[in-house]
Amino acid sequence: PPPFTGVWMGDSKLCAIGVHCGNHITSHGLALNCCTDLSWFEHIVPCGLEGKGVTSLSHELGQHVAVSHVLEPFLESFQEVFDCTLVSPEEPG
């Protein structure tokens, strides 16, 4: 819900999106909660937003959703939406 960034299910954040700028460097981050242990969020104010919660795909769908099941379709959609090509770093050594 505006003005909060991310993907929300009601008052609970499913996907966090962040940007940090400093020293002429911009960093971007994204966290999609697939099968996250949500009990950890009971001890903090997630994203500094009082009265808001955190959820996961597993919680919302009522079944275990592993990162491995979500990664490929997520990356394909990301490339389509942002009209880009993602490259993986080469294996070391």
Q: Which two tokens stand for residue 19?
A: 């940007």
Catalytic annotation present for 47? yes
| Exposed/middle/buried for residue 57 (C-beta within 10 Å: 0-12, 13-18, 19+) | buried
Which listed residue (21, 35, 47, 84) is catalytic? Answer: 47
Task: State the chain's maximal CA–CA distance in angstroms.
Answer: 48
The residues assigned a catalytic role are: 47
